[in-house]
Amino acid sequence: MGSCIHVKVLLLLTLSNFKAIANEQSVSWAEIQALQNKITQLKQHLNMQHKSPTTVQTAILEKQRSQQPTQDHTILFSYATIRPTFGVQNKHAGSHWYVRDSLSYVGFKAIHPFAKKWSAQLHGEWRFDTANNNSIVSARRAYTAITSPFGRVAIGKQRSIAYQFIADYIEMFNYSSNPLTYPPDTDFFIDNLLTYRYQQEPFTLIAGAKFNGAGNDNQSDLVNIGVSYDNNDLHTGISFLSKEHYSKAQWLGQDNVWVGTFVYKFNPRLYGALFYQAKHYQRYLETTDRNGFTLDLSLSYQLAKQYKLKTRAIAFDNDFPYSDIRNQAYTGYALTLEWQPSPPLRVHIEYLNKDFDNQPDINALAVGLRYDFRHRLEVK
């Protein structure tokens, strides 16, 4: 900085001398040329003082910045969705009116970066019932995770892998309490779970195991692994789950479940989602094993800016004999018209039909409201 000021002073003095000599009107052409050369040299020296950093210098500075610790801050997400419905349901014994809850929940998530490409996360989410006593039903998610360049490790209650691969695509209906709720043999949220997740686009690999201290072997009671593929408008995934089946402390057998998902957005208005589950029931108290399945097909079509038409067809079979009271096999379908006047608010009217093999059939008509809330806050 001092040398820069010194050069500027010399330049000013030189210009002053030049003017003084010119005023005396006795200067020669050679002297003028000499002064001009001196001024040019001084300007070049001055420019060198302000020369921008070279590419190498810039790279060094960027490397120094990248090696500095990440600024201490936390990103907080809070969210909630409330989904009451009002409708009428018909069975063989007659019809009844009801107010129910269709999967309302509240949650929060915190992400804390503590090094380059490293972060800590916590996630809590609770299901609550807007009908009846407005009580909190259960925790859906409660885990802590660490994400790094080598993947993410999480411990606690989490979504099953199959549910992660399909939930965001087919959860466009009001599943929780309506007649076409998810089949009872599907695992959605798993306690005492340790998972590893690694993403290398377009693939995502997830593996997990449940450890709850139960069982005779004191080892994992459930193993779950899956891989998904995402590319533009296509999403597909496959997962395998194996778990021990107990009644209280008594071991009864094992369940092996394969799940496949396929989702495609045909155009900006139309997309479809296919969910297929094949489940093998191994029970040592039963004479033969059982093989059940779930087939779920959903379609959504944008009628206009604020209106969507949704339809769903489902078939479920737990492979009990037709006359067995434990037979829960059924087929069903739903037709939904949804109006979304603003991003957080949805209003729908829905007709559902459920045809059982060995139970009374169900028809239902319902009107529902859904309000979604989400807020992001960064704390330093």
pLDDT at site 42: 66
Q: Residue 356 pLDDT > 80, yes or no? A: yes
* 30 membership: H or E segment, kind and range: helix 29-49
Helix (H, G, I), strand (E, B) or coil at 72: coil
Which of the four pLDDT bands, split at 50, 70 and 90, describes residue 38?
confident
Can you tell me the distance from the alpha carbon of 346 to that of 84, in angstroms, rounded to the nearest whole number? 11
| Contacts (Cβ under 8 Å, ≥6 apart) of 310 | 172, 173, 298, 299, 300, 301, 334, 335, 336, 337, 338
Q: Tell me the C-alpha distance between 173 and 275, whole Å.
A: 14
CB-based contacts of 318: which residues, under 8 Å, 6+ apart? 185, 279, 281, 290, 292, 326, 327, 328, 329
pLDDT, residue 231, reads: 94
Q: Report residue 3: phi and psi, to 5°.
A: -65, -35
**What integer best gives the mean pLDDT of the chain?**
82
Taking CA atoms, 43 is separated from 75, 173, 218, in Å, by: 51, 74, 82
pLDDT of 375 above 90: yes
Does the pLDDT at position 348 exceed 80?
A: yes
User: What's the pLDDT tens digit per position in 102-127?
Assistant: 889 999 999 999 999 999 999 999 99
% of the chain exceeding 70 in pLDDT:
76
> Residue 22 has what pLDDT?
46
Residue-level pLDDT at 176: 56
Span of 52-61, 155-164, 195-204 with lowest mean pLDDT: 52-61
Q: Which of 36-45, 171-180, 186-195, 261-270 has the highest average model confidence (pLDDT)?
A: 261-270
The residue-averaged pLDDT of 217-240 equals: 88
d(CA 170, CA 237): 14
Bridge partner list, 125: 107, 141
* pLDDT at 379 exceeding the cut of 70: yes
Higher pLDDT, 275 or 302: 302
What is the pTM (predicted TM-score) of this model? Answer: 0.76
Q: Is the pLDDT of residue 11 over 90?
A: no
Confidence of residue 380 (pLDDT cuts 50, 70, 90): confident
Residue with tokens 């998610």: 141
Q: Which residue has the higher pLDDT, 322 or 178?
A: 322
What do you get for the CA distance between the two ends of the chain, in Å? Answer: 36
For the chain, counts of helices (H) and of strands (E):
4, 18
Q: CB–CB of 146/123 below 8 Å?
A: no
pLDDT of residue 117: 92
Inter-residue contact 281 to 253 (CB < 8 Å): yes
Closest by CA to 257, choosing from 229, 226, 287, 235, is: 226
Average pLDDT on 166-177 reads: 64
CA trace torsion 237, 194, 163, 322 (10° rounding): 100
Quick one: which of 138, 183, 169 has its CA closest to 277?
Answer: 183
Give the torsion through C-alpha atoms of 245, 250, 251, 255, to 10 deg: -10
Residue 93 has pLDDT above 90, yes or no: no
d(CA 226, CA 204) in angstroms, rounded, equals 8
CB 178 within 8 A of CB 85: yes
Report whether 353 contacts 178 (CB < 8 A): no
Res 67: pLDDT:
53
DSSP 248: T
162 neighbors 226 (Cβ within 8 angstroms)? yes
